[in-house]
Structure formats: C-alpha cells, structure tokens
Amino acid sequence: MECLSSVLTPNICSFNRSYLNFHTPFRVVPNLARTPTALPTATEALATDNPAIITSVSPKKVLIPIGYGTEEMEAVIMLHILRQAGAHVTLASVEPQLEVEASGGVKLVADTLINSCADKIYDLIALPGGMPGSARLRDCEVLRSITSKHAEDKRLYGAICAAPAVTLQPWGLLKKKRITCHPAFMDKLSTFRAVKSNIQVSGELTTSRGPGTTFEFSLSLVEQLFGESAAQEVKDLLVPREDQPRKEFNEVEWLLDHPPHVLIPVANGSDEIEVVTIVDILRRAKVNVVIASVEKSLQILASHGTKIITDKFINVDAESVYDLIVLPGGLNGAKRLSKSKVLKKLLQEQKSAGRMYGAVSSSLALLQKQGMLKEKRIAAHPSISDKLGTEVVDGAKVVIDGKLITSKGLATATDFALAIVSKLFGHARARSVAEGLVFEYPKS
C-alpha cells in the first residue's frame, strides 16, 4: 500500500498515476498468456478476446455482489477490468435466483448465489451502486456478515455510487474512514469525513462516485491487488481517451418527432462494457432500446465472461424499423455478428432508407464488408484502423459523419453513447445524463 499512501493528501485522494490519465499515448502490449487458474470458468476462456495481464499460480479472488437494481455499468466495468488484470472474479446474486435485472433494465446472470460465498476468503470485495440495488445489498444478511468479517481481517474492500452511504454506512464499515460517493448521497455521509473526489482511498477501503468514475475506481483496485505496473498495462489495453471528445462531418439533424427506437445486436463474445454502457446511457435518456441476440439462445456470454439475457432474438425483429442500429465491439462478437443474415439485411435496409447506424471497435469491420463505410470518416481502434479502407480521424474518441457514428473502443463507450443522446435530443439532455453518471460532459 506504500505506493498509494504516497499520493494521499489530508482531504483528498488525488491520483497522479499515468494509468489514470486517459490522455497517455496508446502502446501495443504483448499478449501475455493467462494461466488456467486465473480463469473464472472454462467457458469464459472461449469468450475472452484479450488474455489477462497477470499470470499467477494463486490468482487474486474478488467478490462482486449484485441485486435487483444494481447499476449495470459499475458492476460490468469492474468485472471486466479485474478479470483483464487476472483476478478470479465471482459475480454473486443476493437475490433468490441467478438472474438479476439491473437498474437500467439489463438482465445479468450471476455466477453463483451469495450463500455459496459465505465460507470463502476473498482478496477484495467490491460493491457496485445503483438504486434499489445498494439497498438490496444492504439488506442481505449473508453479504453483511461476509463483508464485515472481511473488513475486520484488514482485507481490501470498495464501494461506488450509492453503496458507500446506503450499504456500508449502516453496516458500520465507514468508521474512521474518509469516503466519497455519488453526489446525490453525499448528505447521508458524515460531513467531516466526506470528500468530493472521484476516488478516495482510506486504508483498506476505496470509494468512488458513479458510473462515470468506474474505470478509475477499477484501475485503483487493480493497483492495490497487483501493483502499479499491472494497472498501467491494463490501462494500455484500453483505447486512450484523447483530448477531442468528438468530431463531426457532413452534419445533419438526427432529431425525431417520436421516441427513438434503437437496436443493439449482440453475440457471444460481444464486449460487455460497450453493450451495457450504450444501453444504460440511452435508456437514461428515455430511448427505447432493444438488445437482440443473433445466437440460438437469448443468453449470450460476453467477451470477459459476463452473461447477459437479451430482450429478443434478432429474427423476431426482421421486419421492424429502427431509427438507429448500433453494433458493439468485441473481436469474437463482431465475427459472430457478421454471420447473421438477418442483421446484414437490416443494416442494408437501414442505409438504403437513410436512417442512422453506428459501430464501436471491432464491429466496424462488418460495416466495411457491407460497403457502409465508403467515403466516410470514422474513429477506429488502432489495431484495425488500417484495414477499413476509409479515412480514420486522428485525435477523436467519437466521429460522426452524416448518419454514421463510430468510436474506438470500450473506454470511449460513454462518450459514444452521450454523443448519440446529444444528436437525438440536444446537448442539454446529454449533459443532464452525464451529470447523473458523474461524467464530465464537454463544455463545447
């Protein structure tokens, strides 16, 4: 913990680590082999695009509990990044069943029920926020007992968003700690110990503010588990957050005279951060979002082992009309999306009708094969930018060209989704959604 204590001040945890600075240049990190023991399950190995950074005979064990109304962005971003770092992460339901509907309506499937975790020892317990999710965690006696014993043993624990105030405080686990939480819950904390910072580390406890600070929160947890160099390597695998939030060309209006109807097709191997972030943010903005599976099952296994239950099969909507179709990335997921004849038909009809469409990272390849990037400017992940046969714009997280919107990858998914909100509704609504996320919306 010495590396963390060196950056603390009396009132605020101010991180100067380069891995928390999303303006650092992108660099290619060699693929490091993941040991079998570092994988939560064998099926996750099949879905994972990127191997973990850390290899260890005895991987760090992490518990992430979820309940009805848990904030899905927070749970999924933590899970993805900690698994990327090599941790053995268990997603545990505090409900009677494994399937949990999160606060934005995304249905997640936990790995196990919380009762099965009662006799296990974890290196870290990390609580996502969301309401009523934080209250559901608070009211789970098994989780309270596990976490209290964990804290007594001086092991790492963390909470984000509403969870510090709603969950940890009633359990008495904030005593003599400096903490932060979502701005809407700051008045529930002790004024003397509450800190308005994105990340606050106080001994074994780390707290953070909301969905928009979850990347920083997760990377802080990675450093505490594995060290600063590991956190930096995980950061380097993410798309860098560059100075320019977005660039737009051939500007046209996206405003509609009806509630927007958006399709998010997904497959086994789709990137869970991109899927969940886009869905959550668009639903916060009151967009009608449909998550559709191109698989034979409604449940898909995302790139880092997150199990998501979709709203319907893609062929059920074969004749439906959407204002916008957005393809999430994930290398294996993009390959499986490209095999769907129904999806390719929908995309061609979307372009022919002059409606909006977009893609993130690997799924840009599908648009390229469909001839939907011709003479367009795009944002693309560095690993595929030279394979798309069109102009890739440097220095922008998101690029809009007419009715097309593109973005680089999972670390720019929030910017991507907010850009869609601003095009559909205007900057005021996008800024309002960003404030709820505790995410800095561009001033211009």
- Tell me the C-alpha distance between 370 and 310, whole Å: 25
Q: Which helix (H) or strand (E) holds 314?
A: none
Locate all alpha helices (DSSP H) within 36-180, ordered by sequence: 42-47, 72-84, 133-138, 141-152, 163
Residue 165 makes CB contacts below 8 A (sequence gap 6+) with: 134, 181, 182, 185, 186, 188, 189
CB-based contact 10:197 (threshold 8 Å): no
Half-sphere exposure (Cβ direction) of 29: Cα atoms closer than 13 Å: 23
Q: How far apart are CA 292 and CA 269, in angstroms?
A: 14
State which amino acid sits at residue 90: T
Phi/psi-derived region of residue 343, left when phi > 0, alpha when psi is between -120 and 50, beta in every other case: alpha
Helix (H, G, I), strand (E, B), or coil: what is residue 194? strand
From the list 13, 117, 161, 181, the catalytic residue is 161
82, two tokens: 């900690």
d(CA 110, CA 45) in angstroms, rounded, equals: 17
Query: 69 near 90, Cβ under 8 Å?
Result: no
161 annotated active-site:
yes
Short-list 411, 13, 416, CA closest to 194: 13
Residue 309: phi, psi to the nearest 5? -95, 120
182 part of the active site: yes
Query: Nearest to residue 346, comparing CAs of 251, 264, 255?
Result: 264
- 3-class secondary-structure state, position 307: strand
Where would I find the beta strands (DSSP E) of 222-355? 244-249, 261-266, 288-293, 299-301, 307-309, 312-313, 324-327
Question: Would you give the DSSP letter of residue 238?
Answer: S
Nearest to 69 by CA among 107, 34, 32, 37: 107
Q: Which of 80, 182, 304, 381 is catalytic?
A: 182
- The rounded distance, in Å, linking the Cα atoms of 28 and 233 is 10
Residues marked active site are found at 161, 182
